[in-house]
Structure 1
Amino acid sequence: MTRAGAIRLSGWLLALAVLAVPVVAVLRGWLAAGQWPVKYLTIDAPYTHVSAAEVAVAVQPLLQKGFFAVDLQRVRAAVAALPWVAAVEVRKRWPNTLVISLREHQPWARWTGNRLVGADGDVFSVPAAQMPAALPRLSGPPGALPEVIAFYRSAVAACTPRGLHVAGAQLTARGSYTLDLSAGAHIVIGRDQSQQRLARFLAVWPQLAARHSEMFVYADLRYANGFAVRWPDAQVPAVTPPSTPSAGNT
């Protein structure tokens, strides 16, 4: 390329650069928040525990840059951080609307402290003032939730036909189970042969209930050949067990 040609090419490049500056400036202004603001927020939700106002307050600071600059990931994270929100979908609708669809947690039980278990098995937390009262109470070591849920459900299926309503289940760090009944009674089952021990107790329960007008206070099934039952009037246990529970079941 000749020197004259190089000079002409440099001149063209310089001219294009000069022209590009106002074009970029125009585009930036055209895409700015003032030109394309988000005017409408559409929320699709059941509104059982989460209100439209809560969602609007959570996302409002993220809408200030306008329609094109809205970060959908940040909006999704802001809504997902609200109590009771289980899943969120966010999308833009031309020319000025943000659409948010959310699914709420469906509480099924309380789990170890002030956490909740959803109908799909997910664990979540809500403010203490919003904690539902009439839920089964489950507790156990970290990672034991699936096992406790399975035991609770099997216990409910076994106890309900006998007129015993299970309100909760506890699993200790040593693997010992206790059932809590809605009437306030407790059934200590232990950690070995829990299903068989509960079945043995339930087989005798109708005869025991026929002899007592009140619900028992405490039943200890941790015996090799029987169980002990304590009644409100401190009567002698209905089934006399050995003097101590069988080894390894405390």
Structure 2
Amino acid sequence: MKGRRFLWMSGLGLVLFGIAIWLLFHQELSSKRPIEEFHLSMELKELDRAQVDEVLEPYLGKSFWDVELNKIQADLVRLDWVSQAVVKRSWPDQLKISIVEQNPVARWGNDGLVNHKGEVFFPNNLQRFEHFVRLEGRIENSAGLLAKLAEFQQKLNEIGWTVERLQETANGVWEIHILDGPTLILDQQDQHHKFQRFLAAYPDLKNGFRKSAQVYDLRYSNGFAIKLKEAKASTLSDNNR
């Protein structure tokens, strides 16, 4: 019984040793195999395929096992429309590339776009995005501006207004530019109350004020001011609306 077990264990050991030798030999041969091609696993919408090819082509002919996947991914992410990139080896001589493109939801000033996470990126061509809402402010607060845009637009839906441009000034004042309409100016202090007060009062304003209004300044503690296009201003308090 012990002899049979010894023979069985010896045989198993030889088999495992043989497998280990084969794997080492196979990996040694494989490490010298060059990368012959790369394959994109999705269709590109905004990203130029030529840009991807330019990044990947220098890696063709490199060792299948020695090529640095993290470096390729980093090179791809530097492309203006790439949000994420994953590169994997595919035996025997292929790289598989998966790319997540940026999802723009707003403009950033004159030169950039803002994605759905509030991150700013700068593609080469912005022509198709001229109609997007424009955000302006500190780039480190881009996500905050995007959140404010959603907040303000939700409130302005009550009176049928659409934000065309939202700007946060250096002193924390918000300028809300309405599409084909006036501009709202709002500060940080008691902001929610001031905005709601304006929304409640707007339907009762005379048509002359509505048509001639260029700026609604909501920063007053007891009402808001209207700057007219004819450069005349009228201040409305809680008592004379």
In the superposition, the TM-score normalised over structure 2's length comes to 0.76
Q: What is aligned with 1:47? A: 44
Residues 11-53 of structure 1 deviation map (CA, whole Å, 9 limit, x = unaligned): xxxxxxxxxxxxx9xx68x854xxx333332102341111333
Instruction: Write the letter of the residue equivalent to 2:173.
Output: S
1:120 to 1:146, Cα distance in 2 relative to 1, 3 A: closer
Instruction: Write the letter of the residue equivalent to 2:69.
Output: L
**Identity percentage of aligned residues:** 26
Q: What is aligned with 2:202? A: 205
**CA–CA distance in 1 between the matches of 2:210 and 2:220?**
25
Instruction: Write the letter of the residue equivalent to 1:207.
Output: D
Size of the aligned set, in residue pairs, is: 212
1:98 to 1:215, Cα distance in 2 relative to 1, 3 A: farther
Q: What is aligned with 2:145? A: 148
In structure 2, stretches of 5+ residues that fail to align are 1-24
Q: Offset at 1:212? A: 5.2
Q: What is aligned with 1:117? A: 114
**CA–CA distance in 2 between the matches of 1:209 and 1:109?**
34
Greater fraction of residues in helix: 2
- Contact 1:166–1:180 (8 Å) recurs in 2: yes
**Does 2:104 match 1:107?**
yes
Secondary structure, counterpart of 1:217 in structure 2: strand
Q: What is aligned with 2:131? A: 134
Residues 113-144 of structure 1 deviation map (CA, whole Å, 9 limit, x = unaligned): 53322112323222254672122222223543
The structure having more radius of gyration, on CA atoms, is 1
**CA–CA distance in 1 between the matches of 2:227 and 2:188?**
21
In structure 1, stretches of 5+ residues that fail to align are 1-23, 242-250
Q: What is aligned with 2:225? A: 228
Q: What is aligned with 1:159? A: 156
Aligned ranges 1:1-250 → 2 under 5 Å: 31-32=31-32, 36-112=33-109, 114-129=111-126, 132-208=129-205, 210-211=207-208, 214=211, 216-234=213-231, 236-237=233-234, 239=236
**CA–CA distance in 2 between the matches of 1:213 and 1:219?**
10
1:90 to 1:60, Cα distance in 2 relative to 1, 3 A: same
- Contact 1:90–1:98 (8 Å) recurs in 2: yes
- Contact 2:164–2:179 (8 Å) recurs in 1: yes
Q: Offset at 1:158? A: 0.8
1:230 to 1:71, Cα distance in 2 relative to 1, 3 A: same
1:134 to 1:100, Cα distance in 2 relative to 1, 3 A: same
Q: Offset at 1:88? A: 0.5
Secondary structure, counterpart of 1:239 in structure 2: strand
**CA–CA distance in 2 between the matches of 1:91 and 1:40?**
12
In the superposition, the TM-score normalised over structure 1's length comes to 0.73
Instruction: Write the letter of the residue equivalent to 1:180.
Output: H
* Superposition CA RMSD, Å: 2.7
**CA–CA distance in 2 between the matches of 1:122 and 1:107?**
9
- Contact 1:62–1:71 (8 Å) recurs in 2: no
1:164 to 1:215, Cα distance in 2 relative to 1, 3 A: farther
